[in-house]
Amino acid sequence: MPDFLLNLSMKQFCLFVLVLFISNLAGCKEKHTRSGTYTYTVPPDLSDGIPVASAQDHQTDTLQLGRLTKLILSDTIPNIHSVLILKDNFSYFPQEYPFSHEKKKITIRHLLTMTSGLKWNEEVSYRDPRNTELRMDISSDPINFILSRPMVARPGEIWNYNGGNTELLAEIIKIASGRPIDQFAEKELFAPLGITRYEWMPLTKNRPAAASGLRLRSRDLLKIGMLYMNSGLWNGQPVLTPEWVDLSLSSAVKRPAAQEKNAGYGFQFRTGTVPLNEGTVDIQEAIGNGDQRIFICKSLHLLVVITAGNYNNWKIKNDSKALFVNYILPAVMAG
């Protein structure tokens, strides 16, 4: 799997060194002499799909590159025909978006693990105007709203649930694939799983609400859980890679959760342990507003889907998590 160190604002693999030489190629009758003079310049843009940029813009020492080039030209490093150097990552968002130096360090992995460091408050009710996701939802330009949020932590440092991270992931999928998240999911996920009925509410015109808008039937939620239980296979056919499933369900960062032990977060999944008999058992959860949950417990070969209507109410004592821990787990173990 890639390391997901894909910056949101930088060009993908910007070509900043282009050194081409003509040497004694096989079959050549004429010997070519190379000048030893060299001064660094930005390589030309040939409009061939390879973006170019200055080495200085990518924190690379042009003096060192110049010394290297002169060694090649003098044949101190012999018979080098060409050197192409590409550095840094994918330009998902145009430069007109408000990217500070710190925001340029946000990666896809940070978005997946809710550690972008952007200021965001979803701790209050979704009816409360202080709720940042609510403010995003009513914004005329949600992506600009998200990327305009100030930084309150270094990327990767602190977990904070942020629906804007999920919206950015959906936008990246749209930019990379050319399809909005609902169309992408329909082809790449729903069709292989036989999911034919769903509703995806819009955030703005032609933009599905990735963080909150998907409506699925219980049995289709179960299919998604089965996909993760089976390491990405559906009816023996790969839909997700095993590596992606493992990363998604493994704790990448700690969550601040006073009532939970070993609280962590993977790729959009919560991880942790729950009490069982005299010990504990590892579980992963996908959680939606209203107390919708998918519980995965691979050690017990157990998958549970619960849907409910407790929207904007996170303080119910006997919620779906309590139902799972206090009744379903003991029933499974008793059997």
| Topology given in CATH for the domain delimited by 94-216 | Beta-lactamase (3.40.710)
Model confidence pLDDT, tens digit, residues 91-113:
677 666 767 888 988 999 999 99
> Residue 70, SS3?
helix
CA distance 210 to 181: 7
Exposed / middle / buried, residue 126 (Cβ in 10 Å: 0-12, 13-18, 19+): middle
> What is the pLDDT, as a whole number, of residue 2?
36
pTM confidence score: 0.78
What are φ and ψ of residue 276, in 5° steps? -150, 115
pLDDT bin (cut points 50, 70, 90) of residue 83 is confident
Tokens of 322: 């309590």
CA distance 296 to 286: 9
- Average pLDDT of the chain to the nearest whole number: 86
Question: Exposure pattern of 86-99 as b/e (b: 16+ CB <10 Å)?
Answer: bbbbbbbbeeebeb
- Kindly provide the residue ranges of all beta strands, DSSP E only, lying in the chain, ordered along the sequence: 14-20, 82-87, 198-200, 202-204, 207-208, 214-216, 233-234, 237-238, 253-254, 261-265, 270-276, 279-288, 292-297, 302-306
Residue-by-residue DSSP string for 101-142: TTGGG--HHHHHTT---B----SS-TTSTT-HHHHHHT-SSH
CA distance 114 to 160: 6
> What is the pLDDT, as a whole number, of residue 17?
56
What are φ and ψ of residue 298, in 5° steps? -65, -35
Q: Provide Rg for the chain, Cα atoms.
A: 25
Q: Which residues contact 271 (CB under 8 A, 6 or more apart)?
A: 249, 250, 251, 262, 263, 264, 265, 282, 283, 284, 285
Nearest to 323 by CA among 335, 311, 310: 310
pLDDT bin (cut points 50, 70, 90) of residue 5 is very low
Report yes or no: 45 and 113 within 8 Å, Cβ to Cβ.
no
% of the chain residues with pLDDT over 70: 85
CA distance 225 to 235: 14
Tell me what the mean pLDDT of segment 8-15 comes to. Answer: 46
Model confidence pLDDT, tens digit, residues 299-323:
999 999 999 999 988 888 899 999 9
Q: Is the pLDDT of residue 231 over 70?
A: yes
Q: Is the pLDDT of residue 33 over 70?
A: no
Task: Average the pLDDT over each of 180-184, 194-198, 256-260 and give the range with the smallest value.
Answer: 256-260
More confident residue, 27 or 279: 279
Place of tokens 């992931």: 169
Angle of helix 218-229 relative to helix 242-249, nearest 10 degrees? Answer: 110
pLDDT bin (cut points 50, 70, 90) of residue 6 is very low
More confident residue, 66 or 106: 106
Q: Is the pLDDT of residue 81 over 50?
A: yes
Residue-by-residue DSSP string for 132-197: HHHHHHT-SSHHHHHHTSPB-S-TTS-----HHHHHHHHHHHHHHHSS-HHHHHIIIIIHHHT---
pLDDT bin (cut points 50, 70, 90) of residue 237 is very high
CA distance 16 to 18: 7
> What is the pLDDT, as a whole number, of residue 19?
52
CA distance 233 to 239: 6
Model confidence pLDDT, tens digit, residues 109-154:
999 999 999 999 999 999 999 999 999 999 999 999 999 999 999 9
* Domain spans, the chain: 14-87, 94-216, 239-335
Q: Is the pLDDT of residue 84 over 50?
A: yes
